[in-house]
Amino acid sequence: MNVIELKGIKKTYHLEKLDVPVLHGIDLTIQQGEFVAIMGHSGSGKSTLLNILGLLDKPSEGSFKLAGIEVSKYSDDELASLRNHYLGFIFQQFHLLSKLTALENVQLPAIYSNSKDEQNHQDPEKLLNLVGLSDRITHRPNEMSGGQQQRVAIARALINKPLIIFADEPTGNLDSNSTKEIIGILKDLNASGITVVMVTHEPELTAYASRTIRVQDGLIISDEKNADAAEIKEISGAKDFKHKAFSFSRIKDYFLQAWRSLAGNKMRSALSILGVMIGVASLISMLAVGTGAQKAIEDQVAGLGSNLLSVSPGASQRGGISSETGARMRLIPEDIADLRKNVRGISKISGYANGRAQIVANGKNYNTRIEGVSVDYADMRTSNPSSGRFFTELENSNKQRVALLGKTVIKEIWGDSTFNPIGEYVKINRIDFQIIGVLPEKGSNGFRDEDDKIIIPLNTAMYRVIGTQYLNNMDVQVQDDADMNEVADNITQRLLFTHRMPASSLDAVRVRNMAEIQETMNSMANAFSLLLGSIAFISLLVGGIGIMNIMFVSVSERTKEIGLRKAIGANNADILFQFIIESVFVCCAGGIIGIIFGSAISIVISKIAGWTTAVTLSSIVLAFGFSAVTGLLFGVWPARKASLLNPIEALRHD
């Protein structure tokens, strides 16, 4: 039975500018059980021929039958599977993986074999025993001599019970004692029925072979039988070599390899994880700040009700140039009563005069915000006191010194926000005020603590504390939503009339609908989130490019390993997955740490800056998803590059 049948095999290497023809038409038939030695000068094409025989390289022309199957048209993956199941390789440079033990090196081809059937594999320990290395099972290649390494390589070639073993100058790097041992092992294997094809330039080794072929300038120039070949056995029925990409051992190996590579380059892995971590952390924290701002605005505006109008002095002067009509109205307390009386449809109205003041009470000094408001404020802004009472219209018109305190103020002065201060006195800008109520708790609105303030009657505030004749603004509650626009127009006209301004100077006063304000604020918050999000996204992108860079380094560093893995049967998908898993792992690790870190940052931001931040599940999912996708996207390119390497080119890489 012909285990190998070559007809008219030609091989031309295509270099950048020239074609190098190496094999010029080789016809060769090898029978099962033969021990063939290939001899020839350096550069005559021996390795090229052996690589083609071993399906590591494809001929440019010609027909190749392996165990009766025409293989010259097979795909890369099918060839990988054939190599894995039918062929064993022994290289001059051993090509053991330095991070694996002898045992793991021997097991390697079994990982890429599809058959679950134990009968198709040999026991790796028995094989190491067979090559005389039973005491070196857990040694790594750098702890072994050249001869020992080559014996590990032989054991590796045997693990899947190959039909043929190819050896390219297996003793080329060995001393004469090791050479004898290795050749002895090959001879024994041949005696057990395995076909051996060996390239050598040591003439004395041909004595072990049953047949010697001489190659010169890409042609076979002689072919001699040395002795009768060992008893030729029939090939057992061709094994099934259908390509099946997934098996548990393969997937386990992907993760193991990814882990080994990361653990073997700790600094590099840590830096790439750091890159992703920074990206994810900034994504999380920036989204948290953005979402927080949005939520704060929503909360604040939701409490206002939609039938509110805000009345404020007209557009302020821009750069010293007053607005078109020139004038800017100044609102006075009398406007409040006048509007209530003369504009129909108003249900409530409150004026505002704000300022900051130094307060003293309980021996403590504190600086806070003073808001002078009208009586209607309590209902309009849902600020009915949680204990005590609001002030009355009489107290307002009499400019009486009564105050309602926010929880934060109470906490700052009495050290306990649950303290009941009603009846106590507080000095506001050195004037004694009696505390008549405590304001309901409102929390932070994202930019300001709404509980850090004192409310006093509007007139008291204007004339006794702040010292102003004018209001900052007014809030008007309209009875019926449908009348909003009409009421707004009437307010403008009435104010222009009472302030003796021309009816055309609409710019002098600004009446805005709360719904509009709400919308403006929301769209601002949205823009803010988007801006922050895109900055964070860019940093994630930079992290991703860092990963790609590191993956490229990893690929080129391990090109030899990739070549070896492919030579023993790994297919393109195996290599692709191994590298993708590595980069996805880096990104996921960076992602998880980044999520933790980003959440911590947003908590710190909310503590230090007093902003509301909200880390939402969706932002965590988004950040994690992004980092995983980054790993995938930026890992695919280098991984693909690795997977497409030709095994022989890759093995030659250094």
Least Å from the CB of residue 215 to Mg ion: 10
Residue with smaller CB distance to Mg ion, 200 or 554: 200
- Find the binder of ligand ADP among 33, 45, 437, 635 (CB under 6 A): 45
**200 forms part of the interface with ligand ADP (CB under 6 A):** no
**307 forms part of the interface with ligand ADP (CB under 6 A):** no
Instruction: Output the CA angle 261-265-268, nearest 5 degrees.
Output: 120
How many whole angstroms from its chain centre is CA 296?
A: 30
Residue with smaller CB distance to ligand ADP, 22 or 568: 22
Residue with smaller CB distance to Mg ion, 47 or 477: 47
Residue with smaller CB distance to ligand ADP, 40 or 292: 40
Residue with smaller CB distance to ligand ADP, 47 or 148: 47
**44 forms part of the interface with Mg ion (CB under 5 A):** no
The three-state secondary structure class of 516 is helix
Q: Look up tokens 């924290």; give the residue.
A: 285
Q: Look up tokens 């109520």; give the residue.
A: 437
Residue with smaller CB distance to ligand ADP, 59 or 372: 59
Least Å from the CB of residue 13 to ligand ADP: 3
Gap between the Cα atoms of 120 and 123, Å rounded: 10
Gap between the Cα atoms of 634 and 628, Å rounded: 10
- Find the binder of ligand ADP among 30, 46, 564, 627 (CB under 6 A): 46
**CB neighbour list of residue 285: distance below 8 Å, 6 or more residues apart:** 536, 598, 599, 601, 602, 605, 613
- Find the binder of ligand ADP among 1, 13, 175, 621 (CB under 6 A): 13
- Find the binder of ligand ADP among 3, 4, 35, 44 (CB under 6 A): 44
45 and 19 Cβ atoms separated by less than 8 Å:
no
Gap between the Cα atoms of 193 and 233, Å rounded: 7
Residue with smaller CB distance to ligand ADP, 43 or 303: 43
**59 forms part of the interface with ligand ADP (CB under 6 A):** no
Q: Look up tokens 């025993």; give the residue.
A: 129
**48 forms part of the interface with ligand ADP (CB under 6 A):** yes
Secondary structure E strands in 287-398: 308-313, 346-361, 364-373, 387-388
Contacting range for Mg ion; rule: CB under 5 A; set: 45-53, 317-325, 340-348, 603-611: 45-53
List the one residue out of 581, 562, 579 whose CA is nearest residue 570. Answer: 562
**From Mg ion, ligand ADP, none, which one binds at residue 497 (CB under 5 to 8 Å depending on kind)?**
none
Gap between the Cα atoms of 56 and 5, Å rounded: 16
Least Å from the CB of residue 532 to ligand ADP: 53
- Find the binder of Mg ion among 32, 44, 47, 294 (CB under 5 A): 47
- For residue 473, list its beta bridge partners: 352
Task: Count CB-CB contacts under 10 A for residue 618.
Answer: 10
**43 forms part of the interface with ligand ADP (CB under 6 A):** yes
Contacting range for Mg ion; rule: CB under 5 A; set: 46-54, 412-420, 490-498, 517-525: 46-54
**From ligand ADP, Mg ion, none, which one binds at residue 492 (CB under 5 to 8 Å depending on kind)?**
none
Residue with smaller CB distance to Mg ion, 38 or 586: 38
Position of minimal CB gap to Mg ion? 47
What's the 3-state SS for 268-299? Answer: HHHHHHHHHHHHHHHHHHHHHHHHHHHHHHHH
Q: Where are the alpha helices (DSSP H) in 363-511?
A: 377-380, 393-397, 407-414, 458-460, 484-498
**22 forms part of the interface with ligand ADP (CB under 6 A):** yes
- Find the binder of ligand ADP among 17, 18, 42, 267 (CB under 6 A): 42
* Residues contributing to the site for ligand ADP (CB under 6 A): 13, 15, 20, 22, 40, 42-48
* Residues contributing to the site for Mg ion (CB under 5 A): 47
